[in-house]
């Protein structure tokens, strides 16, 4: 197949040139004798430089040291600039300083969309305004968010300042009163929860005590005790009929006992009704299950014993199918598994 390949591909499979022949050496390099034998460096030590004449080594600055040096230089430069500006600053001859500082009100956190007319309409109710200066950025021309309002008199400025202070005091007072009211409500809720918990625990203890007393009475009376009514046994009396409680026959303790007694009766009657409903539901379920079992047994008996043959499965439930039953004919019996007529085993 290779003879059909083109020349450029045949050149890839061509063998390489043979390795050229070289005559062997007479002696190996380590076998040759040199005119100057090898020696150490001891004769050349005197040619070395004297360490005392060498220059001191230069130490390079680390990154942390360079950053600290730049920071220190920046602080020193800024301090010099501040000192120079303080020497040259004269507030009385400053062309940018206008108005009286004692009549000027500083307003901060101003919305960027607020205009000078809005500020004037908001603050001129406290007195006549002489000038409003809103500060803008020199680069972008956008507002910086603060302004200076100069009044005609000092009392307007003081009135506005006092109004703002009173507003902040009212706001703090309302927040404190709201927090105090929240704490009071939380304490009341915790007290109500504790009171309800104590009431429930006392009721549970009283119920357990009366239950123990009733069991003891039933255990002591034996079989002579009467059957309980539908609403349940009435709890034992708290004392003789003629004996009065600490608050009299109609005191709060007696009324509380009556309420607990009525509540227990209603709970007991509710439990009885729920138990009756469960019992009726179970009875209906068992009845339906028995009907289904009887129908299944009737169908199997009809299919195994021929058409119209009665094997005695009509009207029987699951319990009757679990027992061996004798059929009408001889020693045969019905198998409980499938209801078929089976022959008895020979004795």
Q: Give me the pLDDT at residue 100, please.
A: 80
Q: Give me the pLDDT at residue 246, please.
A: 42
| pLDDT tens, N- to C-terminus, the chain (347 residues) | 677 889 898 888 888 899 999 888 777 777 777 677 777 888 888 888 888 888 888 889 999 999 999 999 999 999 999 999 999 888 778 777 778 888 888 999 999 999 999 999 988 888 888 899 999 998 999 999 999 998 887 776 677 777 777 878 888 888 888 888 888 888 888 888 888 888 888 888 888 888 888 888 888 755 444 444 444 444 444 444 444 444 444 455 666 777 777 777 776 677 788 888 888 888 888 888 877 777 777 776 666 544 444 444 444 444 444 444 444 444 444 554 555 555 555 54
Q: Give me the pLDDT at residue 110, please.
A: 93
**Secondary structure letter of residue 238 according to DSSP:** S
Cβ pair 147, 135 in contact under 8 A = yes
Cβ pair 107, 148 in contact under 8 A = yes
Q: Count other C-beta atoms under 10 Å from residue 107's C-beta.
A: 18
Q: Give me the pLDDT at residue 341, please.
A: 53
Dist CA 185 CA 115 (whole Å): 45
Q: Are strands 104-107 and 143-151 parallel, antiparallel or unpaired?
A: antiparallel
Q: Give me the pLDDT at residue 111, please.
A: 93
pTM to 2 decimal places: 0.28
Environment class of 151 (CB within 10 Å of its CB; exposed 0-12, middle 13-18, buried 19+): buried
Q: Count other C-beta atoms under 10 Å from residue 156's C-beta.
A: 21
Three-class DSSP category at 255: helix
State the Rg of the chain over Cα. 57
Token digits for 293? Answer: 């079992």
Q: Count other C-beta atoms under 10 Å from residue 183's C-beta.
A: 10
Q: Are strands 143-151 and 129-136 parallel, antiparallel or unpaired?
A: antiparallel
DSSP letters for 160-202: HHHHHHHHHHHHHHHHHHHHHHHHHHHHHHHHHHHHHHHHHHH
Cβ pair 312, 327 in contact under 8 A = yes
């Amino acid at each position: 197949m290779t003879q059909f390949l083109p020349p450029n591909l045949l050149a890839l499979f061509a063998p390489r040139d043979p390795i050229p022949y070289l005559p062997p050496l007479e002696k190996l390099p380590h076998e040759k004798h040199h005119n100057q034998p090898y020696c150490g460096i001891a004769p050349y030590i005197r040619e070395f430089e004297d360490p005392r004449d060498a220059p001191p080594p230069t130490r390079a600055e680390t990154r942390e040291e360079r950053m600290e040096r730049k920071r220190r230089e920046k602080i020193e430069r800024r301090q010099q600039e501040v000192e120079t500006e303080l020497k040259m600053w004269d507030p009385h001859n400053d062309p940018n300083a206008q108005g009286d500082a004692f009549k000027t009100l500083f307003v901060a956190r101003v919305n960027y969309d607020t205009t000078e007319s809005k500020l004037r309409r908001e603050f001129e109710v406290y007195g006549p305004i002489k000038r409003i200066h809103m500060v803008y950025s020199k680069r972008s021309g956008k507002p910086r968010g603060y302004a200076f309002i100069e009044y005609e008199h000092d009392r307007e400025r003081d009135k506005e300042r006092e109004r703002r202070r009173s507003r902040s005091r009212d706001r703090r007072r309302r927040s404190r009163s709201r927090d105090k009211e929240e704490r009071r409500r939380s304490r009341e809720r915790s007290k109500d929860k504790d009171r309800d918990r104590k009431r429930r625990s006392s009721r549970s203890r009283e119920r357990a005590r009366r239950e123990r007393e009733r069991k003891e009475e039933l255990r002591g009376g034996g079989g002579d005790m009467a059957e309980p009514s539908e609403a349940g046994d009435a709890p034992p009396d708290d004392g003789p009929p003629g004996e009065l409680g600490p608050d009299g026959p109609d005191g709060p303790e007696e009324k509380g006992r009556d309420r607990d007694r009525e509540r227990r009766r209603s709970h007991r009657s509710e439990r009885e009704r729920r138990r009756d409903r469960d019992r009726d539901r179970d009875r209906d379920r068992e009845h339906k299950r028995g009907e289904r079992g009887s129908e299944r047994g009737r169908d199997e008996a009809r299919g195994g014993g021929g058409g119209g043959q009665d094997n005695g499965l009509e009207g029987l439930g699951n319990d009757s199918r679990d027992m061996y039953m004798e059929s009408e004919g001889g020693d045969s019996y019905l198998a409980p598994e499938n209801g078929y007529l089976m022959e008895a085993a020979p004795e």
